[in-house]
Structure 1
Amino acid sequence: MNTDLIKQYFEHSLLLVQQTLSTPFTYLQIAIVLLVYLLAFLLAKKIRNHIGVTNHQPPETAHPLHKLAFRLGGIIYPLLSIIMLRVSTEISGHTAHTAWVINTAYFIAVILFFHFCIQAFVTHRFAANLFRWVGLPTLILHLLGYLPIFIAELEDVSLNVGNVSVSAYGVLRVLIFGTLLFWLGRASSSLGKDIIRKQEHLDVPTREVFSKLFEVALFCVVFLLLLNVMGINLTTLAVFGGAVGVGLGLGLQSIASNFISGIIILLDRSLTVGDYVQLDDNTKGFVREFRMRYAVLETYDGKDIVVPNEMFISSQFINWTHKDPKQRYRVDFSVPYATDVRAMVEIIKVVVAEHPQVISGEDVPFEERPDCEIDSFGDSGINMFVEFWMQGVDDGKNRVGGDLMLSILETLKAHDIHMPFPQREVTILNAEQMAKPISNNNPL
C-alpha cells in the first residue's frame, strides 16, 4: 500500500515538472533571472569603479571609513540582485502565471546576501557562528512563511512562577538579541572611536573626550534596547529609577568619581595621551590610554600601571611634557684643584654639544645651549656640573645622561685630568714618644 502511494506521489511530481518545463513562461522567468544577474553585475562593477575606495583593498593604516567602504563594495552586487528580483516578482504577480522561478531566485539571493554580510562585517568568530547557525535558519523560516508557526510553538513551552510567565521564545529572544546588540555595540564603538581618533584637525584631548562620550552614549542606547527586548516597561522603570539611582550612587561612588574625573582631565587638558608623568609615590610612566575608570601608564621597563582617574584630580603629580617636550638635565662631576678650569669648561661644552640628542647649535638660544659651571669647592676637588636641554625624557631608550658621563670621563682622561679622590694627612704631634719601645709593665 505504501509503495503505491509513493509511486503515485512520484508520478504526480513528475507530471508537474513536465507541465512546468513545457510552459513558455518558465523559460521566460529563467531568462529574466539571468538578465537580472547580468545587469546587477554590470551595474555593481560600474559603481565600484566610479567609487574608487570600494574597489581596492585598503592598507592596515587606512582610515576606518575607507575600510568600511571597501566592505560595503563587496555587497553591492547581491544587494542589486535582490532589488531587481523583488521588482520582477512584483511585476510577475500581476500576471496569470506563478513566478516560482523568480521567487526561488529571490529566496536564494537573500540567503547569499546574508552570508556575504557575515563574511564582510562579522570578524568575531563566536558572533559569526551565531549568525550562521541561528540567524540563517531564522531567515529561511521567515522566507518560507513558517516563522510565526515556529514562534507560536515556542511560546507554548512556558514556565509559570506565580504571576510571572517565562516562555522558551522569550528566553531565546533575549539571548539572540542580547548577543546581537552586544556585538553590534562593540563593533560600532570600535568603529566610532577609530573614526574620531583619525580626525587630525582635533587635538588629542578633544578626540579622547568625544570617543569616551560616544562610548557611553552607545552603551546607554544598547542597554535601553535590551530592556525593551526583555519586555520591561521603561515607564514603570522610571518610577523606582530614582531610588535605584541613589543606591547605585552610594555603592558605585568610586566608579562614578573616576568616570567624572576622567572627563574633567580630558576637558581641562591637564593630562593627555603621550605625556610623561610622575605621581606622588614616585611612579613614572607615559600615559598610553584613557579608560572610563582609569588611565594606563607605561613604564620604561615594559610594565603597564593602572591609575584611577581620581588620583590625577585629588593628588599632586608632575607632568614632565605638558607644555613643552624639551627638558633640562644636569650631570655632575669633579676635577682636581690644579685643573685649568676655564680651558676644561670649554672642552666639556664642545663634547656635550656633539651628542645627537642634546639641543645645540648657533640657531639655539644661548640659555638652551650646553653649559658647564662650578657648583662648589669640595674637600678633594672642584665640584662641576653640566646643564643641557634635550627633547623628551632622559630615561629608557632616550637615556642621555649616562652617555654624557662616559664622554666626560674619556675627555678628562685624554687631557690628563684625573678624578679627585679623598686624601687625608696624618700629623704626629709627639713623634719622640711614639718612637720609644712600649714596655710590658707600662702599657699605653
Structure 2
Amino acid sequence: MDTQSEVITQALDWLDQAGHIALGWLVSPAAWSQFALLALAYLLARVMAGRLSAALTKLLTPKADAQGLFATARRFALPFLALLLPLIAYALTATGESLTRTMFGSGEVIAFGKRVFLFLAARALVSHVITDPFLHLLGKYVLIPVAALYALGLLDQITLALAETRVELGNIQFSALSLIRGVIAGSLLFWLGSWSNRQSASYIKAKQELRPATRELAVKATEIVIFGVAFLLLMSIMGIDLTAIALLGGALGVGIGLGLQQIAANFISGIILLVEGQTTVGDYVELDGGEKGTIVKMTARACVLETFDGKWIVVPNEHFITSRVINYSDQGSANRYQAEFSVSYDTDINRVPALIEAAVAALPFVLQHPDGPDCELDGFGESSVDFVLEYWVNGIDDGLNKYRSHVLFAIWNALKAEGIEMPFPQRVVHLRPAPAA
C-alpha cells in the first residue's frame, strides 16, 4: 500500500507541475512566439517533405521486374520516406530552439515541440517502416511509450526511479532498470541472432563447392558463435558479473556428468559426424538395428531418416558412432545389385549369359563402369538351372527408382523373345503296381 501511495503521489506531483508549466505558457508572450515558430516550422516542413517525397519516390521506385542488390536497396529505402515530415520538422525546430535561446534566453516551448516531432517520427517508423512482426511489437510497446515519456519530459525521472529500485536473485543484484533494459536488449539481440543465423545458413548452404558435412558443421558453428556472443553481450548489458556465470557453468558441467550424459554423448557424436563427413544429409544408410532411410536432417542431438514410404525415423547421433552403419552413398553414387532367375533344363545354357547381359546393358540406367552387367551360373536346382545377374546403377535400388523391376522385365522379355522357358517346380511321380496277393 505504501508503494502504491508513493506512486500516486508522484503522479499527482507530475500532473501539478505539468499544469503550472502549461498555465505559464498560456500567459507568456515569449511562449506564444515559440508556438508561432513551431507552427511555422511544421508548415515549412510539410512543404519541403511534400516536394522531397515526390522526387525521392520517383528516384527510388524500381521497375516491377527489377532484381539485384541495387533494386532491393531502393525498395528497402522507400518506406523511410514516411519519416521525412517529422524529421524535417525536428531539424527546423532544433534550429529555431538554438536561435530562440540565443536571442531571448528561453526555449522550453519550442524544445517541447522538438520532442513531440521526435515522437511523431517514432510513430511513423513503427507504423510505416517496420514490417517484421517481432520488431513491430517491440516498437509499439517499447519505442513509442519511451518516445512519449521523452516528449513529456518524464523519461529522466522514471529512469532514475527504476535505477534506484533494486532486484535481488540470490547473490546476484541489479536494478529494475537493468532488468527492463536486459529484457529489451535480450529480445533484440536474440532476434538479431536468429536473423543472422538464417542469413549465414542460407549463404553457407549455397556454397555447393563445400562438402555437405562441411556446410552443416559451418552452419552449427556459426549458430553457436552468434548466440554465444549474444548471451555474453546480454550479461554485460544487464550488469551481471560473469563470475556468477562461471559458477553456473561449473554446476552445469556437474549436471551433464551426472544426468545429461546421453545428451552430451549425442551432441559430441553429432560434432564427430560433421567433422568426419562420412555420414551426411542425403546419404542412404542402414543401421545395425535394421533401420533404413535417407538422412534428411542432422541436429545437435539426432539424425532424421526418411524411409521410402514417407516415415521419419529419429536416430540418436550416438548410434552412428557406437554401432555398425552401412552407408550406400558414402563412396559415390554407384551401387551394385543382383537379380536372380532360372531356365529349364532343356535350355542351351551357354547362350543365356550373353543374351541377358546384352538385354540389361541396353537399359539407360545400367552402368558400364566400374563394371557392366555380369550374368553367372548360380547352381542346378530341382526343377531349373539358376542364374544370377549383377549390375551397377547410380542410386539406391528398390526405392524411388526401382531399378530391379526394370531389370527383371528386361530378363523376361529377352528369354521370351528367344523361346527360352522359365520353368515352374515339377515333380515326377512313379506309380508302382500293387504286390500280388
| Superposition TM-score tier, normalisation by shorter sequence | 0.7 to 0.9
Report the counterpart of residue 124 of structure 2 in structure 1: 112
Q: Which of residues 269, 280, 285 is equivalent to 1:272?
A: 280
Tell me the secondary structure at the aligned position of residue 313 of structure 2: strand
Gap change, CA 1:389 and 1:164, over 3 Å in 2:
closer
Tell me the secondary structure at the aligned position of residue 145 of structure 2: helix
- Per the TM alignment, residue 213 of structure 1 is displaced from its structure 2 partner at its CA by 0.6
Establish whether residue 96 from structure 1 lines up as the match of residue 100 from structure 2. Answer: yes
- Report if aligned partners of 1:349, 1:372 keep a CA contact under 8 Å in 2: yes
Report the counterpart of residue 265 of structure 2 in structure 1: 257
Q: What is the CA–CA distance in structure 2 between the aligned matches of 1:162 and 1:28, rounded to whole Å?
A: 54
**What code does the residue aligned with 1:336 have?**
S
- Per the TM alignment, residue 220 of structure 1 is displaced from its structure 2 partner at its CA by 1.8
Report the counterpart of residue 34 of structure 1 in structure 2: 47
**How is 1:12-161 mapped onto 2 (pairs within 5 angstroms)?**
26-27=39-40, 29-36=42-49, 38-39=51-52, 42-43=55-56, 46=59, 72-78=76-82, 87-96=91-100, 104-119=116-131, 122-123=132-133, 128-151=136-159
Aligned length: 408
Using the size of structure 1 for normalisation, the TM-score is 0.75
- Per the TM alignment, residue 283 of structure 1 is displaced from its structure 2 partner at its CA by 1.0
- Report if aligned partners of 1:196, 1:207 keep a CA contact under 8 Å in 2: yes
Report the counterpart of residue 401 of structure 1 in structure 2: 404
- Per the TM alignment, residue 32 of structure 1 is displaced from its structure 2 partner at its CA by 3.9
Q: What is the CA–CA distance in structure 2 between the aligned matches of 1:82 and 1:205, rounded to whole Å?
A: 52
- Report if aligned partners of 1:48, 1:73 keep a CA contact under 8 Å in 2: no
Q: Which of residues 193, 205, 210 is equivalent to 2:201?
A: 193
Q: Deviations over 1:355-390 (max 9, x none)?
A: 33323xxxx44x532232222222221111222221
- Report if aligned partners of 1:412, 1:418 keep a CA contact under 8 Å in 2: yes
Deviates more, 1:196-205 or 1:70-79: 70-79
- Report if aligned partners of 1:205, 1:269 keep a CA contact under 8 Å in 2: yes
Gap change, CA 1:68 and 1:280, over 3 Å in 2:
farther
Gap change, CA 1:380 and 1:73, over 3 Å in 2:
farther
Tell me the secondary structure at the aligned position of residue 397 of structure 1: coil
**What code does the residue aligned with 1:30 have?**
L
- Per the TM alignment, residue 72 of structure 1 is displaced from its structure 2 partner at its CA by 3.8
- Per the TM alignment, residue 73 of structure 1 is displaced from its structure 2 partner at its CA by 3.4
- Per the TM alignment, residue 196 of structure 1 is displaced from its structure 2 partner at its CA by 1.9
Gap change, CA 1:283 and 1:164, over 3 Å in 2:
closer
Gap change, CA 1:86 and 1:192, over 3 Å in 2:
farther
Q: What is the CA–CA distance in structure 2 between the aligned matches of 1:247 and 1:130, rounded to whole Å?
A: 36
Gap change, CA 1:348 and 1:86, over 3 Å in 2:
farther
Q: What is the CA–CA distance in structure 1 between the aligned matches of 2:170 and 2:320, rounded to whole Å?
A: 51
- Per the TM alignment, residue 209 of structure 1 is displaced from its structure 2 partner at its CA by 1.1
Tell me the secondary structure at the aligned position of residue 382 of structure 2: coil
**What code does the residue aligned with 1:114 have?**
V
How well do the aligned residues superpose, as a CA RMSD in angstroms? 4.1
- Per the TM alignment, residue 35 of structure 1 is displaced from its structure 2 partner at its CA by 1.7
Q: What is the CA–CA distance in structure 1 between the aligned matches of 2:234 and 2:221, rounded to whole Å?
A: 20
Q: What is the CA–CA distance in structure 1 between the aligned matches of 2:86 and 2:331, rounded to whole Å?
A: 57
- Per the TM alignment, residue 145 of structure 1 is displaced from its structure 2 partner at its CA by 3.3
Percent identity over the alignment is: 35
Using the size of structure 2 for normalisation, the TM-score is 0.76
Report the counterpart of residue 416 of structure 1 in structure 2: 419
Gap change, CA 1:57 and 1:123, over 3 Å in 2:
farther
Gap change, CA 1:178 and 1:28, over 3 Å in 2:
closer
Please, which runs of 5 or more residues in structure 2 have no aligned partner? 1-18, 102-106
Report the counterpart of residue 441 of structure 1 in structure 2: none
**What code does the residue aligned with 2:420 have?**
I
Q: Which of residues 274, 289, 310 is equivalent to 1:281?
A: 289
Report the counterpart of residue 311 of structure 1 in structure 2: 319
- Per the TM alignment, residue 300 of structure 1 is displaced from its structure 2 partner at its CA by 0.9
**What code does the residue aligned with 1:95 have?**
L
**What code does the residue aligned with 1:245 have?**
G
Gap change, CA 1:111 and 1:258, over 3 Å in 2:
same
- Per the TM alignment, residue 183 of structure 1 is displaced from its structure 2 partner at its CA by 3.4
Please, which runs of 5 or more residues in structure 1 have no aligned partner? 438-444
Q: What is the CA–CA distance in structure 2 between the aligned matches of 1:29 and 1:234, rounded to whole Å?
A: 49
Tell me the secondary structure at the aligned position of residue 368 of structure 1: coil
Gap change, CA 1:20 and 1:162, over 3 Å in 2:
closer
- Report if aligned partners of 1:89, 1:103 keep a CA contact under 8 Å in 2: no
Deviates more, 1:196-205 or 1:71-80: 71-80
Q: Which of residues 350, 374, 391 is equivalent to 2:394?
A: 391
Q: Deviations over 1:85-107 (max 9, x none)?
A: 55544433321286577664443
Gap change, CA 1:281 and 1:67, over 3 Å in 2:
farther
- Report if aligned partners of 2:343, 2:423 keep a CA contact under 8 Å in 1: yes
Establish whether residue 341 from structure 1 lines up as the match of residue 341 from structure 2. Answer: no
Tell me the secondary structure at the aligned position of residue 386 of structure 2: strand
Tell me the secondary structure at the aligned position of residue 311 of structure 1: helix
